[in-house]
Amino acid sequence: MRGVVADKAPEKATRNLYIETYGCAMNLADSEIVASIMADKGFKTTQDIKEADVVFVNTCSIRDNAEAHVWGRLKEIKHQKKTNPGMIVGVLGCMAERLKTQLLEKEQVIDIVVGPDAYRDIPQLIAQVEEGHKAVNVLLSREETYAEITPVRLSSNGINAFISIMRGCDNMCSFCVVPFTRGRERSRPSESIVKEAQDLYNQGYKEVTLLGQNVDSYKEEDELGNLICNFAQLLEKVALVAKDLRIRFVSSHPKDITDEVLYTIKKYNNICNYIHFPLQSGNSRVLEMMNRTYDREWFKQRLDKIREVIPDCGISTDVITGFCSETEEEHLDTVSMMDYGKFNFAFMYQYSERPGTLAARRYKDDIPADVKLKRLQEVIEVQHKNSLALNQEKVGSIQFVLIEGFSKKSDASLRGRNDQNSVVIFPKEHYEKGQYVKVLVESATQTSLIGKAIELASFS
């Protein structure tokens, strides 16, 4: 395993590290980076907090509810520390970056606070704590990508893996805290990304997901600022690693999904026909207040283009209800857009004001909580109806599925996903995790396709 210091062998594992991860896939990828840095310093990961010498909580700040979960968990860890006074507790990630030293002041159990760009400094921060001091590093970077660090795959099924291709975000959506907690956009060299994909394939992984706050704005440049590789070109490079290595990516911003990206997806069978296409609101005035840089009609036209180029593309979205000053009529624009979009999946939330964001500084959070919830429930109802209808349309079809493991309900059934990211459940029989199979869909629920495997499949 490559570590942080290239000319020094990793120390023998003598201490235990326990990591809990909250929030998005980027946080999980970051936890895997942290585990690698710590492994270089003699730590092995454990699934049992009672065995831990160091406990890290990798946090999310996207909504108030996400932070509330972390505060509750820290209180539980405080009780755990009473039985193990020498245990070091650290808070990592977006919440660490947003609150900084306030975390140390509010919760005495915390010894270390580390922002997303300072993970290389963790061993030094632990040394400070062992000398009797609290330790903080929340400096954001314009260069850090952790490109040469090989992640330790945590809770891996050996089939799917994340590859972080870039960090940060430049979009400044008014509701979003990410630019303030993860800094400006910077992209990893494409060579390091392709090598990580090749290494994963050599280890037996069958699917990789390229990660970034906005992957479509990926750009590798030379020292003079000339473009070397854009996202479409990166997709092609990773697709060429192996024809049977399946490729996904997340997340996207609608303004950056170019025709070149769409035609690259269409060109390669191993790039999944699935795009996350965040709407946020179906009303143009609200979209302008959100600083999304597109309006309702533009979004519809871009959605139509995706389906023109990739007719069988699975599309998911994000929706926020009850944004500042949103009227009932504007909310109904979102409802109608959900029906127009016919999204396969949706991540739906009521607006949660985040301190420090543009919206918090500019607009009053003036929609009552009960109205936000009512509007959210209406959006959810439409999405559930559409999800069920889209899944039922697949009954009788044959789906190309990568088996990821047993279903959640029974070891007699297997679970996988098709090209469009839909969950597919079928009897185990003689099939095994990691195989590609063709599944005849016999029934469908709102969340899953259910059927029977008819034969092994391949990309050839």
Per-residue pLDDT for 100 more than 80?
A: yes
Mean pLDDT across the chain: 94
228-259 pLDDT, tens digit per residue, is: 999 999 999 999 999 999 999 998 999 999 99
In this prediction, residue 89 carries a pLDDT of 97
Residues paired with 186 in a beta bridge = 167
Output the CA torsion sign for 236, 246, 161, 168. positive
**Per-residue exposure over 384-409, b if at least 16 CB sit within 10 Å of its own CB, e if not:** eebbeebbeebeeeebbbbbbbebee
In this prediction, residue 10 carries a pLDDT of 59
Q: What is the mean pLDDT of residues 331-356?
A: 96
Per-residue pLDDT for 1 more than 70?
A: no
26-64 pLDDT, tens digit per residue, is: 999 999 999 999 999 999 999 999 999 999 999 999 888
173-197 pLDDT, tens digit per residue, is: 999 999 999 999 999 999 999 999 9
pTM across the whole model: 0.92
Residue 106 binned pLDDT confidence (cut-offs 50, 70, 90)? confident
In this prediction, residue 186 carries a pLDDT of 96
Per-residue pLDDT for 6 more than 70?
A: no
In this prediction, residue 5 carries a pLDDT of 34
Per-residue pLDDT for 77 more than 70?
A: yes
Q: Give the least confident one: 10-24, 201-215, 356-370.
A: 10-24
For residue 208, give every residue at least 6 positions away whose Cβ sits within 8 Å of its Cβ, in sequence order, or none: 160, 161, 162, 163, 197, 200, 238, 245, 246, 247, 248
Q: What is the mean pLDDT of residues 141-147?
A: 94
Q: What is the mean pLDDT of residues 100-110?
A: 89
Q: Which residue has the higher pLDDT, 123 or 155?
A: 123
Going along the chain from its start, the domains and CATH numbers come out as 15-137 (3.40.50.12160), 160-392 (3.80.30.20), 398-456 (2.40.50.140)
Percent of the chain with pLDDT over 70: 97
In this prediction, residue 13 carries a pLDDT of 64
Query: Could you count the other beta carbons within 10 Å of the beta carbon of residue 196?
Result: 24
